[in-house]
Structure 1
Amino acid sequence: MASGTAKLDQASKKKGWFPDSLVLIFSLIIVAQILSYIIPSGEFERTPAPFAAGRDMVVPNSYKALETAPTLDPWHFLAAIPRGLEAAQEIIFLVFLVGGVIALLRTSGAIDAILFRAVRTFGGSPAILIGGTLTLFGLGAFTIGMGEEYMPLIPILVTMCLAMKLDSIVAMGILWSSYGVGWATAGTNPFGVLIAQNIAGLPPTSGLWFRIAIFILCLLVAFQHVYAYARKITQDPSKSLVAHVDYSEGFELPSDIAFTWQRKLIMAVFGAGIIFFVYGAQNWHWYIGELNTIFLGVGVLTAIIARMDPNGAAKTFIKGAAEMTAAALLIGFARTIEVVLTDGVIIDTIINAIASLLDGTGPSVSALGMLAVQTITNFFIPSGSGQAFVTMPIMSPLAELTGVSQQTAVLAYQFGDGFTNMVVPTSALVVGTLALGKIPYVQWVKFVTPLLIKLFALAAAILIFTVHFGEYVGFAN
């Protein structure tokens, strides 16, 4: 793990020509203030939303320019940052607490044990290995937004694939396609869909069953792509995209990690907690407060079952929470962009301008336009939670103006964020994991581009479906 982290850090330095996500978002905050001096101020009329108590929705065709508007002080963007952090505090605290609990789960060995056991169990045949691990890794991303946690498994995945006459591209395809699909279709991911639904005024985990169906469809597409490539190189090894790479060293099988009864019990407690929250969210209107409570309960039970020393458990929790600092700051800074645009009274002007471009195109084209915007944004802001706070405050009212449901707007955000997570060069995780697998970025792009085309074609069809038939799958709001 230490060597993996070192390689990840080295990969991060290699992409130093591109600004860090925090630098980019801070720049966008400054741009937002500059725009407040250029863009005319204006407002829409708003009315209480029938589908979300306490939330207002835009009244179409009600935009009016303001004759007088506030002029922001030159240092306003700095004063707005603490307010952005305050506005996003609920999500920020969730990120810290979830990070701490996941660290406890990792320290207990339960997550690594079940993942390593799965890889060994599925290693009997390429089809079972690819299908089984795709499903397992995809579910981790679909439920709690796992991704970085898979990094220690890269060496064993590569080793298993090499032993089965496959290559490291297959191993990386298993990991990254499941991660991308899991994030793009997530139903309970607290770092993605739950944030976007909160901004859109939707009940948490709403539309879950349809998202599960989408998850299965996209996973089948990913399986077809990875398995077809695996069969091709099995029949002709020279067609491997990394045939020129030396894998003679660095990929030895690790010692088996025992899946003890304690670890089985910990995973059962974790699974029960997720199910309990989903049920509570759908039937008792639970949201972040209850999710924090459940995660903390899972963390305490994990420490007890694993017989962790109280001081050691506390240090592990704090370390896990500390590792989420970057994500938490990105969320608060990204939220600041909306604060500045709102203070300058120009956010409605921007929404009205985009809506005017889409006027007359119909909700289907509008939904596809949202997908395009979210996809492009992810190349600059690879943080899913950060992207949600940058784009959803604009996309949510835009959806109201163009006849697109809030659920469809959230789904467009998920697709745009999740699928491109497989390939964005601005992500240290992507570049670092490719380095661990000794895969040149260009070769990876050659492999994943056809898959992305398939997935985006399916995503476009699904978005158009929800526009016309969303009421039948819980996507009417």
Structure 2
Amino acid sequence: MAKAFKVPHTLTLLFGMMIIAMLATWIVPQGFFQTFINDANREVVIPGTFSLVEERQYLTPWELLTAVPRAFAAAQDIIFFVFIVGGVLAIARRTGTVDALIGRLLKKHSDKPQKLIFMVIFFFSLASGAIGTAGEYIPFVLILVGLCKAMRLDAMTAVGMTVAGYGVGYGASAFNPFTVLIAQGIAEVPLYSGWWLRAVIILPFILIAFHHVWTYAKKVIADPNQSLVADLPCPLEGKEATVYPELNGRHRMILGTFLATIVIAIYGISQHGWYLYELGACFVGWGLVITVLGRLKFDEAAESFIEGVKDLTTTAVLIGVARGIALILEDGQILHSIVNGLSMPLSHVPAAISAVGMLVIQTILNLFVPSGSGQAFVTMPLMAPLSDLVGVPRQVAVLAYQFGDGFSNMIVPTNAVLMGIIGIAGVPYDRWFRFCMPLLGKLMLFATIVLVLAVVFGYGADLEVASVFINNAGVVS
């Protein structure tokens, strides 16, 4: 009898994708667009300037091997942020605050898991849609895993509500400064324009995500063997409380400082452009505060911090190797070739199909350029003029970019935040793929309907007319 196929370890899958990327650089025509540096000091491609290189350069296995440490260096910000968060949360657990919080939530919501799932997806979606939060959810993962375990759910449910929340938030965002505003600026449509449609459609997307996660959760509650991670150890194995302590005044103070840390982080992101270095500093500060409030000896806090960091070593390795895939494609000069090749067929199909084609292209390209802002700078300079040629309003092109970037963020293994979340929760990528792929299909189907209707009803067409009128009047060149 043939042996049953065993899915490779996530690290094996990622390194295999690096090898495939290297082989692709030997086959795919190598080329590039000319670029310029814009006012935001970002490199932006110039449409119509694509050209092939005169002589193909072959990446060697040596470049593949050197790409691994280079990828770790390129992903150092998210890697060290994950380490810091894991270490500080271990200190918080040492104070008993996390277990006390879980006990309190269980007392109030143990018979309403659907309420917990909806609230997490809803609030994470709104936060991601408003200010672009994603990596900031990493501190919540282990707390949600512990809560789900106590409610007879599993780690997959915890990851599902977290990732679905930020994926929907990014995909249907009305105001995300890292995606929507950048894409609108490049497409030369007024900033914040068209927000009303995005504000309306985010709720149906949230409901689709909630229905998917809750349907899975109900199966796990009814039969734990239905869990996709039933045969795997929980990351909290041996650390979960059997009796939860009462939430006392000291715990409340620690939770208050946690909320204050989140508020400071959000303020820094929105007002001063903070990112992971500054957010990491916030959590280091919080760790020092809770050490004092929790009346821990500094040696106890140090031991807990190191234990928390050690638990996330696998996660850090996966994040680093995932970054290597895009690095290989950039080194092999085929990233722009892929963008150019995917966009060319759109000029030969009707407008509605072109809009859906833009969604497909943005989804595929997110595998190679998982940064939302980076993808906007690479693709929108091409999609905006292309949309003019095929009769798709530029506002719809921006919407297709949003959907493709945001929803596929939930599944592409090159997304460092995703790999960090599933790594912390102890969920292998192949299991997550089985859970998330049907959800992605549902979201994409609804996104396709929205895009077709947007073209039919001329979403953003008034902006095109106004632009033409102004140009003809000689007011704007």
Q: TM-score normalized by structure 1?
A: 0.65
| TM alignment of 1:59-458, pairs within 5 A | 59-123=46-110, 126=112, 129-132=113-116, 134-136=118-120, 139=123, 143-145=136-138, 146-158=140-152, 175=158, 178-185=161-168, 218-221=205-208, 242=223, 254-359=242-347, 364-370=355-361, 373=364, 388=370, 397-403=378-384, 409=401, 412-418=404-410, 455-458=443-446
Residue 17 (structure 1) shift: 0.9
For 1:284-324, what per-residue CA distance to the aligned partner results, in whole angstroms no more than 9, with x for missing partners? 22222211211111111122211222112112112222222
Gaps of 5+ in 2: 126-133, 171-175, 186-190, 227-240, 385-393, 414-418, 464-477
What is the one-letter code of the residue matched to 1:349?
Answer: S
Give how far 1:120 is off: 1.6
What runs of 5+ residues in structure 1 fail to find an aligned partner? 1-13, 159-167, 188-192, 246-252, 378-385, 434-439, 473-477
Once the two structures are superposed, residues 251-308 of structure 1 have per-residue CA deviations (whole angstroms, 9 ceiling, x without a partner) of xx95343111122111211111112121122212222221121111111112221122
State the alpha-carbon separation in 2 of the partners of residues 310 and 138 from structure 1: 38
In the alignment, the residues of structure 2 paired with residue 222 and residue 283 of structure 1 have an alpha-carbon distance, to the nearest angstrom, of 30
AA matched with 1:72: L
Code of the residue aligned with 1:131 in structure 2: it is K
Q: Tell whether the 8 Å contact from 2:120 to 2:162 is kept in structure 1 after alignment.
A: no
Instruction: Confirm or deny: 8 A CA contact 1:100 1:317 kept in the other structure.
Output: yes
Tell me: CA distance 1:201–1:454, structure 2 relative to 1, closer, same or farther (3 Å). Answer: closer
Aligned pairs for 1:12-23 (under 5 A) are: 17-23=6-12
Deviation at 1:222, TM superposition (A): 5.2
2:407 & 2:20 partners in 1: Cα distance?
26
Local SS of the residue matching 1:418:
coil
Correspondence for 1:31: 20
Once the two structures are TM-superposed, the CA of residue 409 in structure 1 deviates from its matched residue by: 3.9
Aligned to 1:250: none
Structure 1 residue corresponding to 2:34, chosen from 45, 55, 59 = 45
Superposition CA RMSD, Å: 4.9
- Kindly, what percent of the aligned residue pairs are identical? 26
In the alignment, the residues of structure 2 paired with residue 244 and residue 80 of structure 1 have an alpha-carbon distance, to the nearest angstrom, of: 40
SS of 2:44's equivalent in the other structure is: strand
Q: 1:221, 1:455 within 8 Å by CA — same for their partners in 2?
A: yes
| CA positional deviation for 1:131 | 1.9
Give deviations 1:43-76, integer Å, cap 9, x for gaps: 10112235xx221111112100111243334422
1:27 Cα deviation from its structure 2 partner: 1.6
Match of 1:55 in 2: 42
Work out the CA distance in 2 between the residues paired with 1:24 and 1:131. 35
1:460 is displaced (CA, Å) by 4.8
Structure 1 pair 213/83, CA: closer, same or farther in 2 (3 Å)? farther
Read off the aligned partner of 2:378 and give its amino acid letter: P
Is the contact between residue 303 and residue 313 of structure 1 (CA under 8 Å) also seen in structure 2?
yes
Paired residue type of 1:111: V
Give, in whole Å, the separation in 2 of the partners of 1:430 and 1:81. 24
- Check 1:91–1:179 CA distance in 2 against 1; reply closer, same or farther (3 A cut): closer
The whole-number CA distance in structure 1 between the counterparts of 2:438 and 2:29 is: 43
Give the Cα separation in 1 of the matches to 2:22 and 2:212.
Answer: 45
CA distance in 1, matches of 2:267, 2:95: 27
Superposed displacement of residue 102, structure 1? 2.5
Q: TM-score, normalised by structure 2?
A: 0.65
Q: Which amino acid aligns with 2:51?
A: K
One-letter identity of the residue aligned with 2:119: T
- Number of residues of Structure 1 aligned to a counterpart in Structure 2: 396
Q: Secondary structure at the match of 1:388?
A: coil
Shift in CA distance, 85/35, structure 1 to aligned 2, threshold 3 Å: same
Query: Aligned partners of 2:369 and 2:47: how far apart in 1?
Result: 26
Distance 1:432 1:33, change over 3 A: closer
Distance 1:466 1:94 in 2: 39
Secondary structure of the residue aligned to 1:75 is: helix
Residue of structure 1 in register with 2:473 after alignment: none
Contact 1:338 1:393 survives alignment (8 Å)? no
SS in 1 for 2:7: coil
Aligned AA for 2:337?
A: T
Matched residue SS, 1:307: coil
